[in-house]
């Protein structure tokens, strides 16, 4: 029954190509690859390896594309990086027509009609600029792009809509057969919403704001784990552990994991995931971890995007020897401080970032810092970098750490690296 709802919302076309890159045991992959193949004869393509997902998408051009929010964030970073590296005339055209795309996207979000002049400009912008950009990303044939797994930040969502990618958001859980909520209307969306439940799916919001899923597709429990089953499945509903709310039209809004919502010593509450999403909109920040629970103010550990920042350094004739060396350059600290300033301007005063550090290395799934879908292992990260966090909140200006550095020629060296603590000026 859930597949019927998916099929109605996402009509696979007979000539669609599909792509499979998630574990086949996952129910979402079963519904997105196995079911369309058996039911409609859609061609399923398998990626070469995990590292080639984005290049494989460009080669295949799938019709329906389900990606995690982090993949779409990386796509937006790639878009901005391509524009930065493009010739002057291409940058000029992009920035000339991007406001047109944003105008159309805003009209779609507010359910407003636009006049013939805006429609003409949008048509011209698509064929002159945005279609070529979509082609570089492999999205020209993608009629149903979906973001799921976590909330996609409004900045990324609007950028994709502005360049003509009709992205929608969805929400669901493996315990309730995968995707259960989806934005169905292609010409209308809410950038911070996740859509409405499929037929047969029921949603309840508890008093403390937790999302419960019920109806068709709810599994009986966890295999040979009775205690976890009793805790997570009650009264026919699955306790997702996610916080959110529904509006008067039945649109679901997912805020964050309930356990990840943080409270400052002043009593103010904030979502670190929301702030992290805003930070990662910058092409120079690959990942971020925001901290502030039971502390006086909010800080962040930033994972600099080495590829994009390295190209920026080359254009600005900034010499560096390695990834750790580049992260601590004064010019790079200033570059990311400007990003933080822009993000702070969108936040309430009590939750603005006061300090940050740029980590000397990237967040790494192989070191258990991230999941394979690039979700933060927050508790592990806070324990691992406790000394750095204590230094930020202890009034220090820098902290020295030991790290193994790998050079481009393969040589490795154990180095003592000073990590500078940047105070954000109001």
- Domains by residue range for the chain, with CATH: 2-162 (3.40.50), 261-423 (3.30.300.30)
Question: E strands along 292-328, which residues?
Answer: 298-304
Question: What does DSSP say about strands 353-358 and 285-291: parallel, antiparallel, or unpaired?
Answer: unpaired
pLDDT at position 189 is 72
pTM for the structure as a whole: 0.81
Degrees, nearest 5: CA angle 410-377-22: 75
What tokens appear for 185 in the block? 């209307």
pLDDT at position 178 is 78
pLDDT at position 6 is 67
Cβ-contact 313, 334 below 8 angstroms: no
Query: Residue-wise over 224-253: b if at least 16 C-beta within 10 A, else e?
Result: eeeeeeeebbeeebbbbebbbebeeeebbb
Residue 233 DSSP SS3 = strand
Which helix (H) or strand (E) segment holds residue 3: the answer is helix 2-9
pLDDT at position 187 is 59
pLDDT at position 255 is 84
Q: Which of 201, 85, 222, 57 shows the shortest CA–CA distance to 141?
A: 57
Nearest-angstrom CA–CA distance, 158 and 294:
33
Give the count of beta carbons closer than 10 Å to the beta carbon of residue 286. 23
Give the count of beta carbons closer than 10 Å to the beta carbon of residue 302. 28
What tokens appear for 258 in the block? 């309930």
Residues whose CB is less than 8 angstroms from the CB of residue 62 and which lie 6 or more positions away in sequence, other chains included: 16, 17, 18, 19, 45, 138, 141, 142
Residues of the chain with pLDDT under 50: none
Nearest-angstrom CA–CA distance, 266 and 354:
15
What are the pLDDT digits (tens) for 341-382? Answer: 999 998 888 899 999 999 999 998 888 888 766 788 899 999
Give the count of beta carbons closer than 10 Å to the beta carbon of residue 110. 9
Cβ-contact 217, 202 below 8 angstroms: no
pLDDT at position 3 is 63
């Amino acid at each position: 029954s859930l597949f019927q709802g998916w099929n109605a919302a996402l009509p696979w076309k007979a000539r669609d190509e599909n792509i499979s890159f998630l574990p086949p045991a996952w129910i979402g992959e079963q519904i997105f690859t196995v079911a369309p193949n058996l039911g409609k004869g859609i061609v399923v393509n398998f990626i070469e390896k995990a590292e080639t997902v984005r290049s494989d998408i460009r080669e295949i051009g799938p019709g329906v594309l389900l990606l995690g929010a982090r993949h779409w964030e990386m796509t937006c970073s790639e878009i901005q990086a391509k524009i930065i590296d493009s010739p002057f005339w291409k940058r000029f055209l992009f920035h000339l027509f991007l406001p047109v795309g944003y105008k159309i996207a805003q009209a779609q979000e507010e359910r407003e009609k636009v006049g013939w002049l805006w429609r003409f400009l949008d048509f011209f912008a698509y064929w002159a600029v945005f279609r070529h950009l979509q082609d570089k990303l492999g999205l020209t044939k993608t009629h149903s792009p979906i973001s799921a797994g976590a909330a996609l930040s409004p900045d990324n969502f609007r950028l994709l809509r502005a360049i003509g990618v009709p992205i929608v958001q969805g929400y669901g859980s493996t315990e309730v057969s995968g995707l259960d909520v989806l934005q169905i209307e292609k010409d209308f969306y809410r950038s911070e919403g996740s859509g409405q439940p499929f037929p047969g799916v029921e949603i309840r919001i508890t008093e403390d704001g937790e999302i419960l899923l019920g109806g068709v597709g709810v599994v009986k429990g966890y295999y040979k784990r009775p205690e976890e089953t009793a805790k997570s499945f009650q009264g026919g509903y699955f306790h997702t552990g996610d916080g959110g709310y529904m509006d008067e039209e039945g649109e679901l809004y997912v805020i964050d994991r309930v356990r990840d919502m943080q409270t400052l010593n002043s009593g103010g509450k904030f979502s670190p995931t929301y702030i992290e999403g805003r930070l990662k909109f910058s092409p120079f920040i690959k990942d971020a971890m925001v901290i502030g629970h039971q502390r006086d103010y909010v800080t962040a550990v930033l994972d600099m995007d080495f590829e994009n920042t390295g190209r920026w350094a080359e254009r600005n004739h900034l010499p560096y020897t390695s990834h750790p060396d580049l992260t601590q350059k004064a010019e790079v600290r200033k570059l990311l401080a400007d990003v933080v300033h822009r993000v702070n301007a969108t936040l309430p005063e009590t939750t603005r970032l006061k300090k940050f550090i740029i980590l000397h290395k990237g967040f790494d799934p192989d070191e258990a810092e991230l999941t394979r879908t690039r979700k933060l292992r927050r508790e592990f990260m806070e324990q691992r970098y406790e000394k750095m966090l204590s230094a930020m909140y202890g009034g220090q200006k820098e902290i020295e750490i030991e790290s193994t550095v790998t050079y481009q020629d393969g040589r490795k060296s154990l180095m003592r690296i000073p990590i500078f603590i940047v105070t954000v000026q109001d």
